[in-house]
Structure formats: structure tokens, C-alpha cells
Structure 1
């Protein structure tokens, strides 16, 4: 799962015993060499899907991390793109790796639950960050995204189908979430990272409550499950005009 350039077990343990913000500050230099980074195949698939419904003016990468999703924005946005993240360490790596061509780029340190912007964006994307928010935080998070979009703006992100009960992935994710709950019960500060808490039904309901019109776009590159449902979708939530 990890390349030789990735973090050691000891480094991961230190990160896991830190807060989310400080943990990612520590992990930032090696984050791109871990399985936690969104795969390029997902980024390319989302970029193709957005290209079909774009182009867009200005874009925001919510919880941008080391900036992998910023390349998606730069491919579909004409004006400017912004990355926001709570971790100064992750933003530092993102600045260093950013491409110099394309629309202007800005990097902002901020909390996704209290975004420091007005309604300035036509597109907001996010990749792999929602496990860091508890289910009760989704209404506030989606309201924040709604508030920074211009009328007619789009909030888009990929979401995978849940693991089949009894499968290896199912037990792996269940075990990881259980370990995180035990860790947070006995150690402070908490490190919120739950892979099974972000469920499509809940997400769709809370997006509608926040004022979005919601559509689902299958990402065909990832195929379909035996029951015919897509293995991965792009959620497209639109702020009405």
C-alpha cells in the first residue's frame, strides 16, 4: 500500500495520535506516496465528466491537501482557481508542486466549516476529504459550500459504491472505523477519519436541505457492480439561479 518513499509505521502512529490539522502537517511531505491520495484515475474521470458540463469561471478545491485536485480545476476553469485547506503543511507542498501554466492559482489556509469567502465561485470540488467530517457536521459543511457558490454554481465530487457486505474491503473499512472510534474514545485530541460515515443517501438528503438541486453522474471508467449500479458516481449539486 505504501511506496518506499512513504511514511514509516512510526510516522503514521505519531500522525494518528495528533489532531487532524497537526497530523497532516506531519504527513504532508510524504502524503503523495500514500494510498490516502486520490488516485489519478479518479481525478481524470472527474475532469472528463466536468468537461462535459462546463466550462466554468472560477473554481475552489475544498480541503485541497497537496493539490492533486487543483489540476482538475485548472483543466475546466477559465478564470482562477483556489485551494483551501486547514493544514499549512499540506498547502506548502501544494504550492511547491503546482504547475505554472493555466489560470491564476491562490492558496488559502482555512476551515471548510467556516470558509473565508463570499459567493465567488462557479465550481467547488473536493476529493477524499469527507471522512474527516462527522455526519452531524454535513449540514453546516454543505451550507458553507452553498454560500461560496454564485447562483447557478456547481458542487461536484466523486463517491464510490459501498463495499459489499462480507467482502474484504467491507471488513477492512469496518475494522479501520472501529479502530478510529476506540482511539478517539481514549485519546485527545480526536482524529476524525471515518471511511464508512459518508453515505450517498445521507449526502443527497443533506445537500437538498442545504438548497442544492442534486444529480448523479455515473463514472463509466470504473464499470458497474453485479446488480448493475455504478461502482463510482460524481455527485453534481447545483445552487439554483
Structure 2
């Protein structure tokens, strides 16, 4: 299916009836030959935009999959690149494809909702993974991304404009989400992948609540729709630098007015 190297319909069906983690373990060897893999033109456009925002030292690819986003980080980060995913199969593929050029690459198996890092990164990116989280999980996910960024660091990811109801793509995604909801209602474990649940307005609101300063910029490489809105945006959420406490001047007294002897 998709290409001679891609998964068969039967393999996709087995994946869809598994958990998210095990399903991607099964799909990993052929994932790069499916439409689910972020296309290279989008990765290149994000890398170009991030170069204008940088420079960055240490970068993290959240839910890195087979490592396509690691190539972006290798182009914009100077010191280190880390990929994190909870699928061992996807990480195995990412490990084999990691190039020798650029900063050193580390791969970590963990849950994006419980990151095993302190504030160690200047840049966190994610490509095509946020549809695997339910809307109610976004606050935890964004709080985790905020916690691993150094003050002033950025969390960046591309968002595609939703298709119009008059287009076949709209009904295809609507049908896909409906099938997934029926599947999860009657089959366990659930497989979370909802394309239409990830809405830009909701995302911006939750990023603001997590403590980010958020802006978007058009990726003009993909043009604009008839109404002038961009087809693809890059969301850039910046962790606000912590305010520095004012140093007490000579003769300053404690806030309670007491005087130390």
C-alpha cells in the first residue's frame, strides 16, 4: 500500500488494532514509505524559518518517530540534538538513519507527557505527532515542553490549514476520525490519532496557559488559500525569561520592615 516498500493493507489493519506504542513498533520499518511521514519540503521550510529565529545550541525533537525531524535540528543546532519517542521500533530506525554530520545525536525512549529532562534545551520541535494526544492532554504536554526549555527557548511546530468542507480532503479526514472513534469505542487498547481534534485556536490558548508567548508565521513556500490565509503556519511558542530579582541597594531593609542587627 502507498508504494512497493510501504505497508500492506493487512499490516495497517494490524497496526490500527494495536496500542499506539505497539502499532508504531510494527509500522516503524516501513513508516518512511507512507504519507504519515512528514514530507521533506515541509521539513526544509521549517529549517529555513528556524535559522532566522536562532541560533540554538541544544535541540529536542518531541515524538521523533523515525528521525525525520532530527535532520532539521542538526541543521539549526550547534551543540547537541536529542530525539524522544515511546516506540522502541521507531527509535531503532532513527538510530540507523542518524547521520555523522552535525552535532551529536542522542535518542531517548520516554513518554512526552513525563519528560526525563530538566531545562536543558533552547529549541523543542515536533512534527505530525500532536494528533496522538487527546485535547485534554495538551495542557500536560505543553507544560512538559515548557519545563525542558531554558528561559527564552522556543517550542516550534508546523500546522496545516484545515481543508474546506467543499474539498475531498475534508470528508476524508472527517471519515477517518469517525472510524477511529468507533474503533476506540469498541476495541481496547485505544489507538489515538485524530486529525481534526488538533485546532490552532485551541493550541494557542493552551500554549498561553502553559506560560508561553506564542506567535505564528506563514511558511510562504506553500502559498495561500483563496481567502489569503496561509496554507501552512509555523507555531513558535517562546518560554518567557524568568524575571531577575532586583538586587537590594545599600541600606535596604527586608520587606517586612524589620532591621537585622
TM-score of Structure 1 vs Structure 2, range by shorter chain: over 0.9
- Following TM superposition, by how much is the alpha carbon of 1:147 offset from its aligned partner in structure 2, in angstroms? 0.3
Residue of structure 2 equivalent to 1:159: 159
2:252 maps to what in 1? none
Query: Residues of 2 paired with 1:101 and 1:170: CA distance?
Result: 40
Cα-to-partner distance string for 1:83-112 (whole Å, 9 max, x where unaligned): 000000000000001101110110000000
Residue 192 of structure 1, CA deviation: 0.1
For the pair 1:227 / 2:227, whether they are aligned, the reply is: yes
What's the CA shift string for 1:8-66, capped at 9, x where partnerless? 11100000000000000000000000000000010000000001111101000000000
Please report how far the alpha carbon of residue 231 of structure 1 lies from its aligned counterpart in structure 2 after TM superposition: 0.3
Matched, 1:108 2:108: yes
Partner of 1:210: 210
Query: Normalising by the residue count of structure 1, what TM-score does the alignment of the two structures yield?
Result: 0.99
Structure whose CA Rg is larger: 2
Q: Structure 2: 5+ residue runs without aligned partners?
A: 242-261
How many angstroms apart in 2 are the aligned matches of 1:51 and 1:57? 12
> Comparing both structures, which one devotes a greater share of its residues to helix?
1
Structure 2 match to 1:195: 195
* Greater relative CO (CA pairs within 8 A, separation 6+): 1
Task: Report the Cα offset of residue 166 of structure 1.
Answer: 2.6
> Number of matched residues?
241
Indicate the RMSD between aligned Cα atoms, in angstroms.
0.6
After superposition, residues 1-241 of structure 1 pair within 5 angstroms as 2-241=2-241
Q: TM-score if structure 2 supplies the norm length?
A: 0.92
1:167 is displaced (CA, Å) by: 1.1
TM-superposition CA deviations, 1:157-177 (whole Å, max 9, x none): 000111101310100000000
2:259 maps to none
SS in 1 for 2:78: coil
Structure 1 unaligned regions, length at least 5: none
